[in-house]
A and B are shown apart, each in its own frame.
Chain A
Amino acid sequence: MRKFKCSICGFIFEEAAGLPEKGISPGTKWEDISAGFVCPWCGASKTAFVEVSENVAATVPAIQQEGPVEQVGEFTVGELSALFSNLAKGCEKQHLPEEMGLFLQISDYYRSTMHAASIAKPAPENTYAAESQAAMKDDGPPAASLHDYGFHAVSELLREDLSDGFAKANRASAAERDRGALRALVWSEKVSRMAGSHLDRYAREGDAILENTKVYVCDICGFVYLGNDLPEVCPVCKVPNYKMTQIGRR
């Protein structure tokens, strides 16, 4: 009997034990479980599960050939807005309300600069269509254009993060034994992988994925949870669920 672990939150499914509360009787083989199976803790899809191997060496990912990290250069407007809102949170933790307000004021300045840029340049709808067609031509995700509205371009960036950005950052942080950096990477890589699976589902099914479903975002790590029964703690960062904020419809 084998075991499978959710790569997002760490939930372990054991074939021997099954999941009787989800109608999966003990002894059910993994391949006999429906493709629509989702992780009971975090809602990740069946494809997010990996077999737990007794052989630890087998789980170490192969090191790929790669070039040096590209030049970062100046902060972008978006980075500055996040950098300053993060400092506002630091002040909140230190119980410095006045400083928090001032950092937020600077963060909001950059946020509105960012927003003004998108008003000046209205969403180029033709570009999205062209991108979707291009994606379909080179065997990109099927039907990515079905419910696009600009999400396809987001998926493209996210895919780059997952295939390249995280690997490089993890390697650099591991080489320096920077456990703080590794911690942030573990969280954001899980959150990103889950976001990627939400985006893929949205591209296929559109608004239907949120029918009769609530939407929550963890205030601490950014994990997006689609579902009605919040887990006790965030599946990624383990903060108690009162720090997971529901996003309403407007």
Chain B
Amino acid sequence: MTGKENIPDANVEANENVDHWVHSTCNLCSIGCGCEIGVKDDKIVGIKGEVSHSINMGKLDPKAKDQWYANYSKDRLLTPMVRNENGELEKATWEEAMDLMVEQAKKTLKNKGPDGFSIYSTGQGFLEDFYTIAKVGRAGIGTHLLDANTRLCTATTEWCLLQSFGSDGVPASFEDFDHAETVMLFGHNPAETGTVLFDRIMERKNRTGKPYLIVVDPRETASAKEADLHLSLKPGTNAALLNGIIRQIISDGNIDRDYISRNTIEFNSMRNSIEEWTLAKTSAMTGIPEEQLTLAAKVLGETPSLVSTTLQGAFQSSDATTACVAINNLHLMRGLIGKPGCGPFHMAGQPSSSGNRTVGGVGTYPGNRNPANPDHLNEMAELWNIDAEKLEIGPEKGIMKQIEMIENDKISFFWNIHTNPLVSLPNRQRAKKALEKAFVVVQDPFLTETTEVADIVLPPAMWGEKEGTMENADRTINLLRKAVEPPEGVKSDFEILVEFSNRMGFKDKDGNPLIQYTTPEEAFEEWKKVSKGRPSDMSGMTYELLEKEKGIRWPATEDKPEGTTRLYEDQTFPTNIDYCQSFGKDPITGRPKTKAEFQQKNADGRAIFQPTYYFGSPEMPQDEYPFWLNTGRLLWHWHTRTKTARSKKLEEKAPRAYVEMNEDDAYSLRINQDDLVRVTSPRGEIQLPVHVDNRINQGEVFIPFHYGNWDGEQSANEMTMDVVDPVSHQPILKQAVCKVEKIS
């Protein structure tokens, strides 16, 4: 970070000789920083932050500045690969690879039907790709098995918003951080995973003393070190903590009764669900002293404005949706939503995972349409000019369910687009064994751990080599112009999807090709029509306007093309039965509610308080496995390092995995700094060096999840639990049990 106004963060080779700069957006994390790509001789030679972009004002994350090196990595794939009779991947032409792909896809549809086919995509593609996945997957193939690595990332964001407000869409925006008296970072460590946002918060705090900063995290992270109040809770107790705080706020009388009665329903049901959570009980469960809980309840109960963020510490923990819904409850009972400096801000992990949800490449139908509402499906059928019977009803199936289906020979075709599940999925040996059974197509610029099980590998264009839009964590749609031509031999995701659809012969009702657009911009124009009248209406946007305005937040209608800074300013929520995106799920079992059950609530424009029962982790430390295993992220790497490990500088900063352990635990096990240890869980074991420090509590260990090639790198996901949250179906990657032994 420069720390200076109007001087952008940059990393440019040949600084004096850049031919031209091209408008773009960072393709890492969910902040959505505006940037420009430096081009010389049709080659990317650098990046700089966009000073006039309201979200980052010229700043860039350290990873962002190195993201273009991977484009020129020597091991980049420049031709498709197909597994031969000897079980080896060998180079193939596009013709050969696509012929084989289509042949297998047709075979699957014939033998297994549409639900024998699954597409597992990403939160790092473009909105136009995701929209095409939605159309090809739903209207072409007819499957409802569309999922993405967003299941590991933001599925809980989506479901907590559906449960409370009736539709997806994060209520607050990044602007609200500049106005909030109090900011609570709940299971969110932006000092390492979203540095531009953290700098924005801290710059204001250093200048004005505001906001009061609460950080909820078991570890003393870089963000927690800067907090006014750090609540270091025991693993798996997020919901217990929130229940205790919320009960105390109610007990102190710090609720907005008028707001509750005018704009919400079922407050009493929520209150009853947390009645047992006295501060004493909460303290015993969470390990947080009562004085800290009292202080938290006082600050959160009295602050006139509040932004509460959540990220993987909430989403990948036990009771994930419950905890995030509790945060919505907190904002609703205090009336702190739809006003400057106010609102729940459930983050996304990836640069466009929100976009995938919005356009229906994952989750519900495009434009926040309800997959259990036949009228919404009829609308989609009309917009796509297909028979409504083609569109499958019901909620999607998450990746963990899909793994189960592959194990049981229900799915036989698995199309994996821009993600690396054999490093990122829990209990990855089980996932590997399952994927070995299916016909697997992997779309990735590099050979990865997942291409080990691929039958076909398709090499796509990378960031800077294609055009499209992305949606960040606060509903901003940003444009990315193509800076350079992709290398010869690769195609964009968009081109691959359209070609697949055409080769499969997918048609509309009139016998015309299902996909009639030929460029990303044409796809965006079609999507705009689909979005019209829905919560994520983008009918007022154009590529030209997106570039000029440096991003626009949805909804942006034809009447209001400038977009919407924050949702629910009129305190009307999308819970009307004919309009809502979901009829909700039972908070304990996750059973989808029927229309009749939702109708009985009669929410009709009011937000819904949900009960928040605490359950805790499905697995608890025991004699054999006395430690909690927590997994997470490092400042220097992104996901499974497919890109960041190809930057020499970033890889040097964090070249290998390690296990972080408390000093007292290390002492009692006679383990010293950098000793090699074996960490074992009920699912697997790995060997790695120890980092001893006191950032972590006794009885807990932490391992970064980025690592895990099959040649000896140590993967945390050998050990994680393959169980999911009942509502969002997000895997619980943050809690498992383990033991640690010194290797002599």
Tell whether A and B belong to one assembly: no
| B interface residues, Cβ below 8 angstroms from A | none
